[in-house]
Structure 1
């Protein structure tokens, strides 16, 4: 029985009960239900199952937002439940998750255990202003009006003529994301009211809608052409960036070192922002000193105050994430702020080492976590098997599943990397992957496509001078099927 007939038969049976019932279709988008299910059910899954990872959430969001024209009142695209609070993503990523689902008019089904939810989880799930965007009676699914370089602007028209705007930075470095009232479809006006749905503040803008966003971060606004715009303070967006070793690098600082940070405050309002001052603060023991002016008498429309700061990292700083906060004050009750996350890395290896024995900066994986010294079990940590490639078993290494990325810090102290790579024997003949080594943002080694029928292949790379090494497992160019990639005997030579 084909999918349309099967679900139509169930629809007819539900109607015969005479009771109002919400009918949700779930065949994971295999039969393109958005093309035929409008008169069959109220919502339909558009993708495979979501998992509690940023990569899964992002992939599903991108697939779902292309289907905006099929949704409307009483018939909705369903990109699967919310993962907010399940602890596989950061709160920053969960806010983006919630924003994306809301702008796409998706069903907001809580998928976490509220008995153990954190205050931050309740804050995200309970944001009534964002929920109102999702449930707006006009029933239009928001969609991107611009996407380039991992930066996205999504817009959703609302019943009262307002526009909901989501600025989203999917990438790995801080970005200032902008749009305009004209670009989002509002009529020309001398000023606009800008409602920040997370800060819960009202500002005015001359037309620019902007936010400086951390990696994976987002900002959501409700915007309208308001004749009373002048009663609101000007919208000033604030940001900060750390000078890194190479473009796109993680913002890393070593204990006892000095770091260079640049802060910015930009006036997007029609009226000037008066008596503007920026302050940068860090955790206890961190010092921040301005090396250029951090105040000005006024900022007119479009003007910015940019300040360079010297940040002293205490020698006692332990590995982990730290937050540097920039606050901008001016003559109003407004105090825009931006939190810049910086990372003190674990100590770089001082002797030759297996990478599976190091503390990594980050890792993500297609299915389940990346495993140390076993193959990938696709579900929970520690569920892998001995790594075996073409009949040869290896005691040390890393078990991954495409697509996979692992980053670790070597701090310029290592000279070479070597491994034997291949598809694990636990997978069938469909498995095919490629292994890549990246150093300081540049690819320096590539295995080419490896299949289950091939023996382990040696791969090596010169990492002299590298600060960060990234290991990539791709799908071999033919989609993700049985793609268990082993970095067997993976080791670095260091001094």
Structure 2
């Protein structure tokens, strides 16, 4: 999905692919899914030619409309539920689904890929073939999708080359992924006759119209073809790559993503200009919902923003623009379980306000989409239309858009209000079908409700009938054996008028309802007039021709009808909540589906059936007028969650915790991805020898939106923050001068950012990025620990994104079978007061839901929002979501089928991370049912490995390594570095000690020293003269030592300060000084605005019309760090949003001196006058200039530090 140009945070323009299947293909898919992931053989089946002409996709030369919905299998980790959703989509009018294939979901480390179990995409595509739904495959490599890293695996973060470019290391990794996924997709192409893939999207929302950008896309095209992809290659790059691709698509999200104002419409675009010569107009993603961020209004508001009224108006408007391929993003969103959710856009739920809810329940949007999808698949002339000019409606408040098929004259007319926010009910008459004023019946009119839209057909050859026009909308039609059937619908109580033309007067029988008929012998027109009220049935029998059964319904009645096609012809049924399948078997019509309450089944068929079954039971009365009664679901009683067990952990915060086996932070960066930890929480423990003069700790961290970090010093809690830089004051009596002190930081991260703008934003660090002591130059040596095993998964079934590095996660407290018998019992809500940190709550419950019923369940939290805590929610070992009590909005967490054992024993484990000095206990947690339906489907339990004492334990260190170095080594100068090695349990044979230095640093003697055999408990020490590099470079350098023996290795690391010289006496423009920076968009610019994503592309700075020649141009979220060395006393600047945003943007400015806030602004917005900052920075070693995003995302947040200066003494 996409974000408007330069709207950096509100990323994706909602997704939708429209695919209309014809009966040619709908009834011919019959392969049964097998179990093997890679080697499933396929029976020989007819191949098909998939191509396109100027207006439509073609299959075997026949054009068809594509009515598609987006579906993400990786957000629904239950293969049986894949069938449920795909069947619902097929029944709901979709003839295709667009599917991202998520690299991140399948690859925990380079060269390792998993396509088994919940990752078995062979099975997914077999199910799609079995259901009879086409697939638009979208394997990336980049997918965006509001998912972790935009689909890039965590291990890609550390690559040096720029992603989404021709950088060799990136292309090698991308080719590795494509070499895995492309052969699977190739096996399931319609062109082979072995699947239903009809299109393959190359990359995603890629807008780099450069030589390298085109070379990159061509590389992916060549790779796809080399890997056996033969279907058309598509894109959603808004027309940039027509040369490389077969069909270029366009993304459009006209409602945007602010669900806080769900009743405000933004306008409906005319997208006809996006059609490319020789290609159909393909809306690769059109808005089918909206994402919702942390602290947002919730998905019910997003569903209201994109409700059925919007769908009807927008999708019909697209048809009026000539779109024959539409994909709606999303049809079903699902759950971003584990750490799938990209935090700048979404939280755990990816409901998206879609037509099918996260809990798989159907909505009113689904029913509107069904009516439109059925129509698009029925009316073949829609695949080739041209825009025509006609007389405007008689009512000037309304507008019409018209097209006609040049081959057969079929006309389509879309009527709605000119003002999309007009809620008035208006009536009008139209010139339609050659008639100057329609409707013709005196006293009637065409009614358009507020925000309604109507798509009317005229001059249409409807099977064996000639439809002159109808003011009712067509839902579906077809030939059912000896007669034609057409279903027309309209708003309840509104007038309807339908005119059919016959050579001779037909016999008209009104079977039910009130329908007035008028025959005009001169023209041969049969005019029917009626009001839409329930269902009227009219049988029209023309002499010597095919009869027509005309069903005239209001919206609610039309919604009860379902159409599915079989090789023997179409089946039309009404009554049940859902019709899943229809098939003939030796004359028996076998139907399956769901009911949410008792219903009456009526069936219209063309092929005679000896009998009818419903979910395997006789339903012969369905063919009769009376129909067959269907039972609703039986009642379900859910258990109350009780018997909770409680355990407080956080031993890592205590100074005596043994961290020797943790990973030493031996790289020139602290962020977790550098050490193979790519998901969830990360623990850091920093050791330093205190001078006794330290007054505070300054911590730099990037946890992601919705993330937070907590800090302890020597076991004393310092507090928590979500700031990029935060100063924690050291409480009196906490330091241990001259001794080892331990700074412990729990970085409760959210997932990685996406890379929508192809600027490597997915590489934004997670975890600590730096830390320093205020009051001394003492340096800190760090160790860190994330998920147990890191990239070498200990739980490959659940995969790389299920857990992080909490103590309880590393020891399996989230898993079934963990021994919690010794934990104390508690009840919820828990009134206890605990210490800050992590505590666990566990309980179990049994379920035995009625067989043949689908009862979607979830967990609901209820607590006082003033309590500051977050909770990781696990069910049977699966992290179903992250609950942030004081941020929200998510309070209920659906548990997808298979994760939950509906006929067995279940375990709930909740890890609460409390941030307050006196942490309140967990609030109420309950089991909630979202629906109750009879169903033919059975959801099998997915594999959920339990606890194992052999697996879930901390690794043990074989030796201790220590490294000591000067706190500072000036650039180009030398200092003595000492390292020691002490075996723990047994003699270390053939031991060695190796010093590792940054690039450009040297050591004497050689860095690698042999130690021989070292007895257990003995310590061997080596020293080196170390010389730092001269010139520019990092302000601090990491030195590390590794001890090795036959038994294993151990390591340690420390930092040495090597800052640039402090500014000299005088006043200095910051643009002329060395600085370090992080920036939300491109680099920080000197003496210009931020501009775009390249260095040097900014404009002259201007705030509210005032130009500035000097300063720094930044973009939220940003941190500019300047070394002052205690020599400066005053900082000044004029700050504001740069005028290049054209009044957009909202930012905050904060000035920190050694982490202490010395100046700040409120939220400043575009075109607001500059604010002058004048801050005392006396004695500060480090100055930080921080730009925040104003609390509403960082779109257009161009921030100027104009005339930024520091005044310094010698």
- Shorter chain as denominator, the TM-score bin is 0.5 to 0.7
Unaligned stretches of 5+ residues in structure 1: 47-56, 62-70, 84-93, 103-108, 155-167, 189-223, 245-251
Match of 1:111 in 2: 164
Match 2:17 to one of 7, 17, 34:
7
State the distance in 1 between where 2:24 and 2:1129 align: 67
Cα 1:110/1:313, change in 2 over 3 Å: closer
Deviation sequence 1:181-222 (CA, Å, 0-9, x none): 54585999xxxxxxxxxxxxxxxxxxxxxxxxxxxxxxxxxx
State the distance in 1 between where 2:1062 and 2:1156 align: 20
Match of 1:454 in 2: 1168
- Determine if contact 1:353/1:492 at 8 Å carries over to the other structure: yes
**CA positional deviation for 1:457:** 1.0
Q: Matched residue of 1:433: which SS?
A: strand
**CA positional deviation for 1:422:** 0.8
Match 1:366 to one of 1080, 1092, 1111:
1080
- Determine if contact 2:1129/2:1208 at 8 Å carries over to the other structure: yes
Match of 1:172 in 2: 769
Cα 1:126/1:263, change in 2 over 3 Å: farther
1:43 corresponds to 2:759: no
TM-score (norm. length: structure 1): 0.55
Match of 2:844 in 1: none
1:396 corresponds to 2:443: no
* Count of equivalent residues: 367
**CA positional deviation for 1:357:** 0.8
Deviation sequence 1:407-433 (CA, Å, 0-9, x none): 122222222211111111121333211
State the distance in 2 between where 1:338 and 1:317 align: 25
**CA positional deviation for 1:368:** 1.8
Q: Matched residue of 1:9: which SS?
A: coil
Cα 1:329/1:101, change in 2 over 3 Å: closer
Q: Matched residue of 2:1162: which SS?
A: strand
Match of 1:444 in 2: 1158
Match of 1:350 in 2: 1064
- Determine if contact 2:141/2:174 at 8 Å carries over to the other structure: no
Equivalent residue runs for 1:323-342 within 5 Å = 324-332=1039-1047, 334-337=1048-1051
Cα 1:489/1:339, change in 2 over 3 Å: same
Q: Matched residue of 2:19: which SS?
A: helix
State the distance in 2 between where 1:449 and 1:43 align: 38
**CA positional deviation for 1:459:** 0.6
- Determine if contact 1:278/1:326 at 8 Å carries over to the other structure: yes
Match of 1:88 in 2: none
1:494 corresponds to 2:1208: yes
Match 2:1033 to one of 320, 328, 339:
320
Q: Matched residue of 2:1140: which SS?
A: coil
Match of 1:212 in 2: none
Match of 1:73 in 2: 120
State the distance in 1 between where 2:813 and 2:49 align: 41
- Determine if contact 2:1089/2:1112 at 8 Å carries over to the other structure: yes
Q: Matched residue of 2:1071: which SS?
A: helix
**CA positional deviation for 1:448:** 2.1
Cα 1:431/1:323, change in 2 over 3 Å: closer
Equivalent residue runs for 1:257-276 within 5 Å = 272=986, 274=988
Deviation sequence 1:6-58 (CA, Å, 0-9, x none): 4362799997796799xxx99899xx987999633442689xxxxxxxxxx9x
1:377 corresponds to 2:1091: yes
Cα 1:234/1:381, change in 2 over 3 Å: closer
**CA positional deviation for 1:356:** 0.6
Equivalent residue runs for 1:142-221 within 5 Å = 143=339, 146=681, 149=709, 151=747, 170-173=767-770, 174-177=782-785, 180-182=810-812
Match of 1:207 in 2: none
Q: Matched residue of 1:437: which SS?
A: strand
**CA positional deviation for 1:298:** 2.1
Q: Matched residue of 1:426: which SS?
A: helix
- Determine if contact 2:1001/2:1028 at 8 Å carries over to the other structure: no
State the distance in 2 between where 1:82 and 1:237 align: 42
State the distance in 1 between where 2:140 and 2:1158 align: 38
- Determine if contact 2:1001/2:1029 at 8 Å carries over to the other structure: no
Q: Matched residue of 1:398: which SS?
A: strand
State the distance in 1 between where 2:969 and 2:1003 align: 12
**CA positional deviation for 1:324:** 2.4
Q: Matched residue of 2:1178: which SS?
A: coil
- Determine if contact 1:422/1:486 at 8 Å carries over to the other structure: yes
Equivalent residue runs for 1:214-229 within 5 Å = none
Match of 1:463 in 2: 1177
Cα 1:350/1:384, change in 2 over 3 Å: same
Cα 1:176/1:396, change in 2 over 3 Å: same
**CA positional deviation for 1:454:** 2.3
**CA positional deviation for 1:241:** 8.5
State the distance in 2 between where 1:384 and 1:28 align: 40
**CA positional deviation for 1:401:** 1.1
Larger radius of gyration: 2
Q: Matched residue of 1:172: which SS?
A: strand
- Determine if contact 1:422/1:457 at 8 Å carries over to the other structure: yes
Q: Matched residue of 1:356: which SS?
A: helix
Unaligned stretches of 5+ residues in structure 2: 1-12, 27-45, 51-67, 87-96, 109-117, 126-137, 144-148, 185-335, 340-678, 683-707, 710-745, 751-764, 771-781, 787-806, 819-946
1:434 corresponds to 2:1148: yes
State the distance in 1 between where 2:959 and 2:816 align: 20
Match of 1:255 in 2: 971
- Determine if contact 1:319/1:345 at 8 Å carries over to the other structure: no
**CA positional deviation for 1:451:** 1.7
Match of 2:1133 in 1: 419
Deviation sequence 1:318-340 (CA, Å, 0-9, x none): 331455231112344x4455676
Q: Matched residue of 2:1180: which SS?
A: coil
State the distance in 1 between where 2:69 and 2:1166 align: 33
**CA positional deviation for 1:299:** 6.0
Cα 1:340/1:382, change in 2 over 3 Å: same
State the distance in 2 between where 1:398 and 1:484 align: 11
- Determine if contact 1:391/1:425 at 8 Å carries over to the other structure: yes
State the distance in 1 between where 2:23 and 2:1138 align: 48
Stretch deviating more after TM superposition (173-182 or 438-447)? 173-182
- Determine if contact 1:407/1:471 at 8 Å carries over to the other structure: yes
State the distance in 1 between where 2:1114 and 2:23 align: 46
Deviation sequence 1:347-372 (CA, Å, 0-9, x none): 22113211111121x22211222111
State the distance in 1 between where 2:1163 and 2:994 align: 51
**CA positional deviation for 1:375:** 0.8
**CA positional deviation for 1:285:** 4.4
